Homo-oligomer: A and B are copies of this chain.
Amino acid sequence: MKIVIIGGGAGGLSTASNIRKYDEDAEITVITRDEHIAYSPCAIPYVLSGDVGCFDDIIMHEPEDYLEREITVITRAEVFEVSSETNKIKYKLIDNHEESSGIENELSYDYLIIATGGAPFIPPVEGAELEGVFKIRTIKDGSMINEWAKKSQKAVVVGAGLIGLEIAYGLKKIGLEVTVTEMLPQIVPRSLDPSMASIVQKYIEKKGINVILGQAIDKISGEEKVEGAVFGDEEIEADMVILATGVRPETKLAKMAGAKLGRWAILVNEKMQTSIPNIYAVGDCVEVYDAITGHNTQSPLGSTAVRQAKIAAKNITGINAEFNPVLNSMVSKIGDLEFGAVGLTKTAALQNGLKVISGKSRALTKARYYPGAKRIDVKMTVTLKGKIIGCQIIAEERVAERVDTMSLVIAKGINCSELANMEFSYAPPVSMVIDPIILAAEDACDKLNKLNK
């Protein structure tokens, strides 16, 4: 069985490894445009901040590691033709391949996996091509930002999603004056309600980061190099501008193959199969089904790609497996502050026409008297029937696993009164006798009881 995988990120390489796990004999070839493979793009901000030593540290594997498992990895190679009629792809070597650069090659496949990921979206503003303007996606992007930051004093980060905030914090930490800007009236608009976002905002402002909300970037000023960023009437001086304005799925090759596209990305079924039976797709380039809204959405996360890869590999090797609808669980850490969410915010629920209330708690991460207890904020989105459909959590510790608990709650359709009676573990140095999650569930129950009176 000949397998060709386009893309050397989490989706592509996990598919390769999983296929090898289930099939010792498959011929597996991975082709990627990138120079590096198997690295964690989500770790780039933490290299910039100095928390992780260097970019080499976040590369988990080299192509040679895959060769040991008889997986061929071709780097710096661009696929320029996919034919689902002949089951062949054509690629050429690019970049620094020296004498062989530009040479065209052909590979035939029994199964093709498209794991082409996404490309940073560059807003169409004047000055976006100036020196000192950066996008953020690959290690190469990260290295360039890192070098440029060394000779810079002032940075503007456009976009206050996770990556934007993480980069902003990283640059602040290494001594730059940093402004982060967001078109929408709050930070982290995809995952947090305004009230929860403002907790994170206060934290980053306290760390000295300047935040501008409700302003799209109008222009990047400068001659050859960036000199400032213009928002309405205001111009902010800057030696560098980082565009963290989202990612667009790379669907060109899928389209060329004739696979159906959805509103944003490649359409796949629950087996991760495209509309062409022997072409699968995984990762940031596909659309997923949202467990709560019932609509298609995007889930551009490494963890999603890894789970999809397992499903694709199983189905390709003859094992039935289905990718579950997504719950959109996320977590991030900025400085000491951890924040995470799963499911729908109250805002998103209302936008989706759902009638909901919030269950809230503000409590502590340890027993009240235990030294080092941190404040924790929990906010749940709960339907009028008591079903929990979302949760946001912020604290300086122990957030990620609570988000995972809430993922299970939402996936299993547990309502707030059932959750309020759930048995949670307790010891003074690690928890409160009544967990903040339980307190928020109780708050939701109390509110619903009052509504129904």
Contacts and interface: CB of A to CB of B under 8 A. Distances in A.
Interface stretch (A137-145, A275-283, A430-438): A430-438
A108 interface: no
Contacts of A324: 421-423
B333 A430 contact: yes
Contacts of A426: 42, 301-303, 331, 400
A428 B39 CA distance: 12
Interface residues of A, number: 67
A407 B424 CA distance: 7
Contact of A427 (B333, B411, B434): B333
Interface string A337-379: 0101010000000000000000000000001111100000000
A247 B264 CA distance: 62
Contacts of A399: 430
A331 to B, nearest CB: 4
Contact of A404 (B301, B333, B405, B433): B405
Interface string A298-317: 00011110110011000000
A414 B413 CA distance: 13
Given A408-B405, A408-B414, A424-B404, A51 B307 contact: no
A331 B432 CA distance: 12
A236 interface: no
- Count copies of this chain in the complex: 2
Interface string A182-225: 00000000000000000000000000000000000000000000
Max chain B CB contacts within 10 Å: which of A324, A402, A412, A423?
A: A423
A203 B268 CA distance: 49
Contacts of A326: 423
A403 interface: yes
A307 B431 contact: no
A366 to B, nearest CB: 10
Nearest to A424: B404
A429 interface: yes
Interface string A388-408: 000000000011111111011
Contact of A402 (B53, B340, B401, B412): B401
A130 interface: no
20 contacts: A42-B427, A43-B370, A46-B428, A58-B369, A60-B368, A303-B425, A303-B433, A307-B423, A321-B421, A323-B421, A333-B427, A399-B430, A400-B401, A400-B425, A401-B404, A401-B405, A404-B437, A407-B425, A408-B409, A412-B414
5 nearest CB pairs, A to B: A401-B401, A303-B426, A331-B425, A333-B429, A400-B430
Given A52-B428, A58-B369, A307-B421, 11 more contacts: A10-B433, A40-B428, A302-B433, A329-B425, A330-B425, A342-B423, A398-B398, A400-B426, A408-B409, A408-B412, A412-B412
